[in-house]
Each structure stands twice: as structure tokens, then as C-alpha cells.
Amino acid sequence: MTVWADANQRVLRELVEFGAASAKESVRLYAELQQSAIEALKDSQAAALQWQTAWQDGARDPVQFYQKAVADSVDTAQKAFKVLEAGAQAVTRSAERLQTSAEQAGKGIQETYTAVVARMKDVYSQN
């Protein structure tokens, strides 16, 4: 019984450590995505302010206004794709870190049960 109690305690410790690592990783990912969203919001506010001033100048030179509008639209699209790419990379890095944590927990649990089997063999071979 002592062997199994010790094994259960070790497995529970591995699971708790994995749960803590998962929670920590979730918070880290949320912070990265939140920062990215804040930057995107700042960019959109700046773009809105530029459009307000551009409308006033657009009446004087419509061709230049059109060229600026197209260039700004392309720039905004590129920034949006960069934000999406950064978010995707953050999720990928997070998944990789979670996978590493899961592998470590699995390895620890496997080692625990391998040790239990060896100890149980010793116990039964002595009888």
C-alpha cells in the first residue's frame, strides 16, 4: 500500500505541476494577445484621425486624396496581417510550451509507474 500511495502522490504532483504550467501559459498567451489587440486599436485610432484630416484636404486635390487613400488602405491591411501573424505565432509558441510541459509530466508519470512495477516485483519476489 505504501508503494501505491507514494506513486499516487508523485503522479498527483506531476498533474498539479502540469496544471500550474498550463495556467501560467494561458495567462502569458492572453497577455500577448491582449498587447497585440491594444496595438491594433491604437493603429485604428490613428488611422481614423488621419482620415478626418484627409477628408478636408481631399476637396482641394481629389487625385492626391485617392492615391493617399489607396496607400493607407494597403498599409492598414499589411498592419492587420502582421497583427494576425503575431497572434498566430504566439498561439504556436504557447502550444509548443504546453506540449513540452505535457511531455515532461508524462515522462515523470511513466517513470513513477516504472519504479512502482520494479518495487512490486521486488516485494513479490521476496515472498
List the pLDDT tens digit at each of the 127 positions of the chain.
888 899 999 999 999 999 999 999 999 999 999 998 898 888 888 888 777 777 777 778 888 888 888 888 888 889 889 989 999 999 999 999 999 999 999 999 999 999 999 998 888 888 6
The number of folded domains in the chain is 1
User: Collapsing DSSP states into helix, strand and coil, what is residue 60?
Assistant: coil
Return d(Cα 14, Cα 46) in angstroms, integer.
48
Amino acid code (one letter) for 79:
K
Residue-number span of the structural domain to which 9 is assigned: 2-126
Q: Could you tell me the three cell numbers for 76?
A: 492598414
Could you give the CA distance from residue 101 to residue 89 in angstroms, rounded to a whole number? 18
Q: Which of 95, 92, 88, 90 is nearest to 22 (CA)?
A: 95
